[in-house]
């Protein structure tokens, strides 16, 4: 990110290359990435911690699997901010200029990829849960509950941690002067498949099925007047579509630049590719700090929970919005019970018909 020497004099002799062959690309952004990541870290970590506390309250109150999945996404975003932004970009690069033991660099690289994979793949169970809830509601009532959600989240985190191990051998694209090797090609394609192509394919298929199902329901609903007005797109579904769309847009430039670096021109040699790589990383990391604002815009229960936390209030065990939703079916059952008792009392007080009172002759 910052214009410091890429290699030492001893490395020239070890590689047997001339200095002009190791001419590295200039970083035209200067200290802008350092300022950007510092601001993103100072804003993103407190905001995500606030999001995690609010989601914990909502999960304990409602016992819905949805909030456990959102909590997993938030926790993974915090790990990504700590490992990738704080340790990777700020400490190693801006402060120590990567002048640390090589083994430590590779260990941190593996931790960065593990946190990155967890942040992305935590959204996949959320998408599957919303698909089952909308397209197979009866099945969703049977399989979606907090205990199973916690098991799924644990499995995703363990798999993400394991998927980061091969990236211990990830090359430093900013400073490695040699062209990408066969191992680099395997790691790069594995990386873009795990973080972009595979999750985006899942998002595209499930979101398309969700939208298709909702459109069919809207077409059928006007013909069934007894069921009320046609259902519109729910806020939870809208939030899911916004989350997955935002991820697809923010991570697309980095995926393209990494593949371009592999086959066309190296980040180390071409300043334009270097600039594109820096900007694409900045866009991708922005995805770890924007979910809070999306939740506040879409969800009224989340806004209420955040307001209670900021004002240092415990909040009611059952919020007003939940009681309002429960009041309608309760009143309906009470009224139906009253009407049933009223009819029964009228039937008991009605005199017998003449035919039944008439005595046999």
pLDDT tens string 286-317:
999 999 999 999 889 999 999 999 998 875 54
**CA-to-CA separations, 38 to 63, 147, 286, in angstroms, rounded:** 36, 37, 12
**CA-to-CA separations, 264 to 110, 260, 267, 332, in angstroms, rounded:** 26, 5, 10, 67
State pTM to two decimals: 0.77
pLDDT tens string 98-135:
777 888 888 999 999 999 999 999 999 999 999 999 99
pLDDT for position 26: 67
Give SS3 for 353. coil
Q: For residue 257, is pLDDT > 70? A: yes
Is the torsion defined by CA of 155, 156, 157, 162 positive or negative? positive
H helix runs in 136-270, sequence order:
137-143, 146-163, 182-192, 198-220, 235-263
pLDDT tens string 176-216:
677 788 898 999 999 999 999 999 999 999 999 999 988 88
Structure tokens at 216: 């069919």
How far is residue 310's CA from residue 312's CA, in Å, rounded to a whole number? Answer: 5
């Amino acid at each position: 990110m910052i214009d410091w020497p890429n290699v030492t004099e001893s490395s020239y002799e070890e590689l047997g290359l001339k200095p002009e062959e190791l001419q590295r690309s200039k970083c035209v952004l200067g200290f802008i990435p350092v300022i950007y990541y510092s601001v993103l870290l100072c804003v993103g970590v407190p905001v995500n911690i606030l999001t995690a506390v609010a989601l914990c309250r909502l999960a304990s109150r409602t016992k819905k699997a949805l909030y456990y999945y959102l909590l997993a996404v938030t926790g993974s975003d915090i790990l990504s901010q700590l490992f990738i932004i704080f340790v990777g970009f700020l400490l190693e690069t801006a402060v120590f200029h990567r002048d640390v033991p090589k083994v430590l660099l590779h260990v941190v690289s593996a931790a960065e990829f593990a946190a990155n994979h967890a942040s992305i793949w935590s959204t996949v169970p959320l998408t599957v849960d919303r698909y089952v809830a909308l397209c197979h509601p009866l099945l969703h009532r049977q399989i979606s509950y907090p205990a199973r959600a916690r098991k799924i989240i644990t499995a995703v985190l363990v798999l993400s941690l394991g998927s980061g191990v091969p990236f211990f051998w990830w090359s430093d694209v900013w400073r490695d002067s040699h062209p990408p090797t066969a191992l680099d090609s395997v790691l790069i394609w594995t990386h873009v498949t795990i973080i972009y192509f595979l999750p985006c394919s899942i998002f595209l298929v499930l979101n398309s099925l969700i939208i298709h199902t909702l459109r069919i329901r809207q077409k059928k609903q006007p013909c069934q007047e007894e069921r009320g007005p046609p259902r519109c797109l729910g806020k939870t579904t809208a939030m899911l579509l916004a989350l997955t769309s935002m991820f697809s847009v923010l991570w697309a430039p980095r995926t393209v630049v990494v593949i371009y670096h592999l086959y066309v021109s190296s980040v180390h040699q071409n300043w334009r590719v270097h600039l594109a790589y820096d900007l694409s990383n900045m866009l991708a990391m922005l995805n770890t700090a924007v979910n809070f604002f999306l939740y506040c815009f879409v969800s009224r229960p989340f806004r209420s929970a955040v307001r209670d936390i900021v004002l240092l209030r415990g909040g009611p065990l059952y919020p007003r919005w939940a009681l309002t939703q429960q009041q309608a079916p309760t009143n309906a059952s009470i009224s139906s019970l009253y009407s049933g008792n009223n009819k029964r009392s009228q039937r008991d007080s009605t005199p017998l018909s003449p035919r039944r009172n008439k005595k046999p002759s």
